[in-house]
Structures are given as structure tokens and as C-alpha cells.
Amino acid sequence: MWGKGLKPKKLAVAVRHAAFEDLGTFQSTLTASGYSTQYLDAGCDHLNPASNADLLIVLGGPISANDEAYYPYLRHEIELIEQRLSAGLPILGICLGAQLIARAMGSRVYAGPAKEIGFAAIELTKAGLSSPISELAGGSVLHWHGETFDLPNGATLLASTAICENQAFSVGTQAMACQFHPEVCDGRFERWLIGHHSELVSERIDIGHLRATEWGERDALRLRSDAFLKIWLAQLV
């Protein structure tokens, strides 16, 4: 039983595709906003607990949203997203998660003009200026993707970059999709540099420079990411 004046915590379920691509700084923001959190590891855990969760967060990962021939569980994720979108249940997609939301809404996911790896600012659309995404403006966010997607029908474009036009979109107030990574500012970025070592070397990315840039951006990005997520969570019904 809950004591007088206490409310049960809401449940946020995060679908994780790689151990080091987790909720990051979003974890503390969710806790402060009254959510308990549960991870489901894609391909290992059954997705049933996510069906009726108060919030579903689909995280990033190093695979393609089109890779269900290699990773059949991607089809189950897309079906879960379709169900939640149809029911109007809250969902947040990050990078691969954003691409899976786009696929669930009938859009193509395909190779972008170039890989986008590193820290850079996003350019807000008119709609983005009046959305929670606006809290992420005024500084850089982490980009780490080689694919992009067509803006789904019924979605509102919120942000772009020169390389990738569709960086963030919303569907009403209940669904938010970010191609970039606002959650990566929790002091554990070295896990990313180790986990993505082969890609960084093959793309001739200066690992030392990327590490130093994250260090310089970390505190400011943490504040902006916290504000972004708090405002978006507050508008959920």
C-alpha cells in the first residue's frame, strides 16, 4: 500500500541494443520525474513488459533498422512501436530507436549522404522552436549514425543538420524521435569509444579529439538534456 500523499512510480521501459548505449543521463532525469526504469535487452528479453509501460524508450545501437534478416527481433520492436503509436502511448526513440519509429510509421530508412559522427549543433525548424527540442539548442549534441529516414506522414519535423535533414520529429505530444544522442553526457563516454573502436578507426575519426570534445561539452549538454526530457515528460497525458 502507498502511504498518504504518495503516488506509485510510473514505469519507463528502455529497449537496449548495446550494453554501453543505455539511458545515460536520462536515468537521473526519469527518477527525478517520478519514473522507475527497467531495461529489456533486444533479442534476449521478451518485450511484453513494454506493452503497457507508462513510457517506452527505444535506444540506439550499431545495427541498421533494416537488419531484421540478421536480427529478427527488430520486427518485434517495430510491431511494439506500431501498437503503442496506435494506442497513443508515450514513446521516445534515440538514433536507431528514431529510425525504428520511422519504419513503424511506414517510412524508409536508408544510407545517408555521409556518416555523421561527432558533436555538432542542430538547426531547429519553426515547430522545433516551440517544442521541448528547443532546450537542446545553443550548443552541440552527439551525432553517431550512417543512415537516415524519410519524415513519416503525420510527423512534425523539429530539427535538422547540413548532413541529415530529418534529425528530430514528433507525433503529437506522445511520440518523440531524435536521430542524435542527447543522453550521452553522464561521464561514461569512454565506453562508446571502446565499443565503437573499429568504426572510429575505419572512418578515420580522431578518437582523442572526440574524447576531448565530449569532455568540453559534457556539463552544458547534461543541463540541456535534463531540461529537454523534463519538459517533454511533463506534457505527456
Q: Any idea which residues carry the catalytic annotation?
A: 95, 181, 183
Between the alpha carbon of residue 235 and those of residues 4, 90, 95, 176, 230, the distances in Å are 25, 10, 22, 12, 9
Query: Rounded to the nearest 5 degrees, what angle is found at the Cα of 12, between the Cα atoms of 11 and 14?
Result: 145
